[in-house]
Amino acid sequence: MTEPAARPRLAYHHIPGASPTVVFLPGFASDMSGTKALALETWARARGQAYLRFDYAGCGESEGTFEEQTLADWRDDALDLIDGLIEGPVVLAGSSMGGWLMLLIARARPERITGMVGVAAAPDFTDWGFTTDEKLQLLQQGRLERPNAYGPDPTVYTRGFWSSGEANRLMFGPIPFTGPVRLLHGMRDTEVPWHRTGRLAELIGSSDVQCWFTKAGDHRLSGDADLRLLTRAVEEVIAAC
C-alpha cells in the first residue's frame, strides 16, 4: 500500500497564555499577516491570552502550492495544529472562508471547541458564491480566475477546491454547537451577503448566538472600530465559555 503524501509544513505564531486558546482562521487566499490576525495577537499579548495564528498550506509563509489545496486540506491543517500545539479548550475566530472552516473544525472536535466568533462567515460559498456558468467552467476546465480587489494578481479557484467545498456544505440543516457564538458582518459587504449571517445563526444549535451588524462595514471589517468590535466579541465569548 502506498503511504499518503506528507502535508506541507505550516508557518505559525503560537503565544502561550491563559486558556482558552484563541485560534484565528484567515479567509480564502489570505494569510496570518492580515489586519485582524495581527490585531488579535496584539490584544492577546496585552491580555496574557493564549493565541495561535497560522498560514494554510500554499498560503503566506507555509509550504505547498496554493492551487493544489482544498477546503478539507485547510480544515485538516487547522486540526493538526490544534491537536499538536494546544492543550485544553479553544475559541475559534474565523474570517470569511475561515468562518466556514470554523464550523467544520467545531464539528470535528466538539470536545475542544468551546466558542466561536465569525467575521463575514461564508459557509457553503461554493454553492451560492458562483454563477452557473462559473461552476460549469470549474467542472469542465478545472480552474477559474476572478479579479482580485485586494491585489494585482487574480484570485484563482480550482475544481478540487470547489468539489471539496460542495462535499462539506453545512447550511442545509441544524448545526450542532452549544457554546457561545458571535457573528459579525458589515452591511456593505459585496462578497458575502450580510443576511446569510442571520440564517447561520438560526441553524446553530446554541441558545447563546448573537449577530452584530455594522451598517458602514464592508467585507474586510478591518477598520479601527471593526477591530474593537472583534476583540470585544472574542472577550464576550471567552467570558461565556
Residue 226 makes CB contacts below 8 A (sequence gap 6+) with 184, 186, 214, 217, 220
Residue 111 — left, alpha, or beta (φ > 0 → left; ψ -120 to 50 → alpha)? alpha
Catalytic residues: 96, 189, 219
Report the distance separating Cα 95 and Cα 122, nearest Å: 8
Q: Are 206 and 116 in contact (CB under 8 A)?
A: no
Residue 22 makes CB contacts below 8 A (sequence gap 6+) with 40, 44, 49, 50, 51, 52, 90, 91, 92, 93, 234, 238
Phi–psi pair at 115, nearest 5 degrees: -160, 160
**Residue for cell digits 476583540?**
231
* CA 184 to chain centroid: 13
**Residue for cell digits 486558556?**
19
Report the distance separating Cα 65 and Cα 132, nearest Å: 27
* CA 101 to chain centroid: 5
What length is written for the chain? 241
**How many CA atoms lie within 13 Å of 204's alpha carbon, on the beta-carbon side?**
32
